[in-house]
Amino acid sequence: MKQTSDSNLFILRAIDFAARKHRDQRRKDEESSPYINHPISVSLSLAEIGGVRDPETLAAAILHDTLEDTVTTPDELEATFGRRVRRIVEEVTDDKSLPKAERKRLQIEHARSLSPEAVLIKLGDKIANVLDVTHSPPADWSLERRKEYLDWAETVIKNCPQTNTALESHFNQVLKEGRRKLLSL
Ligand code: NDP
Ligand code: ZN
């Protein structure tokens, strides 16, 4: 994947694939925003804030919720995007057969052994979700639950190996602003 045009095509295919897979899904905010805006924003943060240019990492960011939230198999990802993308997406996918509380505990525990590419996606995902919890939270969440989410996201990111200073600083910034806003409500 050395030529720019090949990279562009690869990323466009990832956007097309994710958009089809998430087509009937909405985020949990009051307006039920289209789901696809979330993975696109994660990938954009990696590129714009983190300076990430690796097409496979950017594609994995776009695809990061397909295994967890849609009818997509790891083999399907590998057939379309290759083994490396499959592995990165698998690394950031929770085991949905486990209870929610256990999944959240495991995210904290597994953070320390993530690959650098998976850490980048964790950072982008938590930046997007902390912004959402701050500005467009799930419709039925109490203030307490929103605060707890910020605390949990901070713990997950603290346990990740240091990988990208710009994304880490940005995460800390949105976390600080989120806490300030929630305290003022
Ligand atoms: P969820 O994991 O159910 O929801 C958060 C996830 O939803 C995010 O990580 C994000 O994941 C996705 N999401 C979709 N839309 C939005 C949005 N607008 N804003 C933010 N996130 C969005 O919730 P919790 O993190 O609270 O985890 C559930 C846990 O909370 C359980 O352990 C349960 O026992 C506990 N709980 C706590 C309560 C409380 O009041 N504290 C009440 C009830 C349960 P993604 O990026 O993958 O899409
Ligand atoms: Zn996500």
Domain ranges of the chain: 2-183
pLDDT of residue 2: 47
Give the pocket of ligand 1 (CB within 6 Å). Answer: 27-29, 38, 65, 100-101, 104, 125, 129, 132-133, 136-138, 142, 144-145, 148-149
Angle at 152 between CA 54 and CA 143, to 5 degrees: 120
CA distance 80 to 17: 9
Residues in the chain where the model's pLDDT stays below 70: 1-4
3-state secondary structure of 173: helix
Position in ligand 1 atom list of the atom nearest CA 128: 46
pLDDT of residue 124: 99
DSSP labels, 44-71: HHHHHTT----HHHHHHHHTTTHHHHSS
pLDDT of residue 3: 59
The phi and psi torsions of 12 (rounded to 5 degrees) equal -60, -40
Going by C-alpha positions, the residue among 9, 42, 110 that lies closest to residue 1 is 9
Active-site position among 6, 16, 54, 68? 68
**Is the torsion defined by CA of 129, 166, 118, 65 positive or negative?**
positive
**Domain made up of 2-183: CATH architecture:** Orthogonal Bundle (1.10)
